Structure 1
Amino acid sequence: MLPPVRLNGTPLKVVREFKYLGHWVTASLKDDIDVERERRALAVRSNMLIRRFARCTSNVKITLFKAYCQSFYTCSLWINFTQKTYSALRVQYNNAFRMLLGLPRYCSASGMFAEARTDGFHAIMRKRVASLVRRVRGSANSLLATVADRVDGAFWQYWSSLHAHNNRDRILHYKIK
Structure 2
Amino acid sequence: MVLLSPSSGALKKLLNICESYAVANGLRYNAQKSEFMMFKPDKIRYTDAPEFVLTGVKLHRVDKFKYLGHWVTADQKDNADIERKSRALSVRCNMLARRFAKCTEQVKITLFKAYCQSFYTCSLWVNYTQKAYSDLRVQYNNAYRALLRLPRYCSASAMFAESRTAGFAAIMRARCASMMQRTRDSRNTLLCAVVDRWDSPVLKRWIGLHALT
Is 1:80 aligned to residue 127 of structure 2? Answer: yes
Letter in 1 for 2:138: V
Query: Which of 121, 127, 135 is residue 174 of structure 2 equivalent to?
Result: 127
The answer to whether structure 1 residue 144 and structure 2 residue 191 are counterparts is yes
Q: TM-score, normalised by structure 1?
A: 0.89
What are structure 1's unaligned runs of at least 5 residues?
169-177
Q: How does 1:50-61 map to 2 (within 5 A)?
A: 50-61=97-108
1:17 aligns to what?
A: 64
SS in 2 for 1:71: coil
Separation (CA, whole Å) in 2 of partners of 1:146 and 1:6: 33
Which sections of structure 2, spanning at least 5 residues, go unmatched? 1-47
User: Which residue number in structure 2 is paired with residue 34 of structure 1?
Assistant: 81
Quote how far apart the aligned CAs of 1:159 are: 1.1
Q: How many residue pairs get matched?
A: 166
1:48 equivalent among 72, 91, 95 = 95
More helix per residue: 1
How many angstroms apart in 2 are the aligned matches of 1:115 and 1:72?
22
Deviation at 1:21, TM superposition (A): 1.1
Deviates most, 4-13 or 36-45: 4-13
1:2 CA drift (Å): 2.3
Match of 1:171 in 2: none
Q: Which amino acid aligns with 1:155?
A: V
Name which structure has the greater RCO, CA cutoff 8 Å, separation 6+.
1
Instruction: Note the C-alpha offset of 1:154.
Output: 1.1
Q: CA RMSD, aligned part only?
A: 1.2
> Which residue does 2:112 correspond to in 1?
65
Partner of 1:117: 164
| Contact residue 196 and residue 203 of structure 2 kept, 8 A | no
Checking the alignment, whether the CA contact within 8 Å between 2:63 and 2:73 is kept in structure 1 is yes
Shift, 1:11, TM fit: 3.3
Share of identical aligned residues, percent?
64
Distance (whole Å) between structure 1 residues aligned to residue 198 and residue 102 of structure 2: 49
Quote the Cα distance in structure 2 between the aligned partners of 1:127 and 1:6. Answer: 42
Please identify, of 92-101 and 10-19, the stretch whose mean Cα deviation from structure 2 is larger: 10-19
- SS class of match (1:107): coil
Match status 1:102 vs 2:149: yes
- One-letter code aligned to 2:51: P
Paired AA for residue 101 in structure 1: L
Partner residue of 2:138 out of 85, 91, 99: 91
